[in-house]
Amino acid sequence: MDKTATRALVTGGSGGIGAAICRRLGRAGHFVYVHAHRSIAAAHAVAADIVAAGGRAAPVLFDLTDAAATRAAAEKMLQDGPVQVLVNNAGIHDDAVFPGMSPAQWHRVIDLSVNGFYNVTQPLMLPMIRTRWGRVISISSVTALTGNRGQVNYAAAKGALNAATKALSLEVASRGITVNAVAPGIISTGMGDAAFDDDAIADLVPMKRAGTAREVADLVAFLCSEEAGYITGQVISISGGMV
């Protein structure tokens, strides 16, 4: 079987980093499911870009925090065969200092990253195991490794992904499936551009610049490749030397 011709799902595929990952996996030959919840038009546009470039893609629309809806979407995708590449990219910020953080802010961030990880990964796992080849990549954050003021909820959510990555990697390693996390630092994309000016970036990042969504996508694509088959259970920072 051609491992570059697998079917890939990228959650949050309509956003900055997610869209870059979708396009990169499309160029690598994967059929790409571009997931979105609210950004329906953006998901269609990313899928259209991949097709226009000679790849194969389709948008998929569901709410990751809705377990029943996510399982139904997974089962629909599985009707066409196993999904062997899964990129858990969807996530949100809802920042506040912890003493002022509302229950809604806490649960909203945890629910999407942590419960969303379970909701989409669990139904896809057994069909992936049966093929004895697969790649699961979760997009974490350096915040989970270093902490950050005002982001206790986000750090907790991404830290949970790191721990789940390590545990799941042990369960499926003998089945030819690798499970890793990628921890971006300051990346130039819509989610974080407004948070850091050039002076702040120069102070925080040893390389004195923000990373790009394409650089994150290139790392994810490598971890999804056959060449990365002996890398599993790792949390790999892409942060310009921040950590």
Tens digits of residue pLDDT in 111-121: 999 999 999 99
Beta bridge partners of 56: 31
193 pLDDT band (50/70/90 cuts)? low
Residue showing tokens 């196993």: 82
Provide the pLDDT for residue 151.
97
The closest of 59, 76, 71, 68 to 11, measured between CA atoms, is 59
* Residue numbers annotated as active site: 154
Specify if 153 maps to a domain.
yes
Residue 11 lies in a domain: yes
In-domain check, residue 154: yes
The one-letter amino acid code at 157 reads A
User: Is residue 136, in this structure, part of any structural domain at all?
Assistant: yes
Can you read off the two tokens belonging to residue 50? 């991949």
Q: Domain total for the chain?
A: 1
Residue 77 has pLDDT above 70, yes or no: yes
The verdict on residue 241 lying in a domain is no
Q: Is residue 240 part of a domain?
A: no
Residue 242 lies in a domain: no
- pLDDT band with cut points at 50, 70 and 90 for residue 1: very low
- 98 is a domain residue: yes
CATH code, 212: 3.40.50.720
Reply yes or no on whether the pLDDT at 127 is more than 70: yes
pLDDT at 75: 98
- For residue 200, the model assigns a pLDDT of 86
> Per DSSP, what are the bridge partners of residue 86?
9, 136
- What stretches of 111-230 show up as alpha helix (H) in DSSP? 116-131, 143-146, 152-172, 198-204, 213-223
- What range does the domain containing 13 cover? 3-235
The residue type found at 79 is Q
Higher pLDDT, 1 or 98: 98
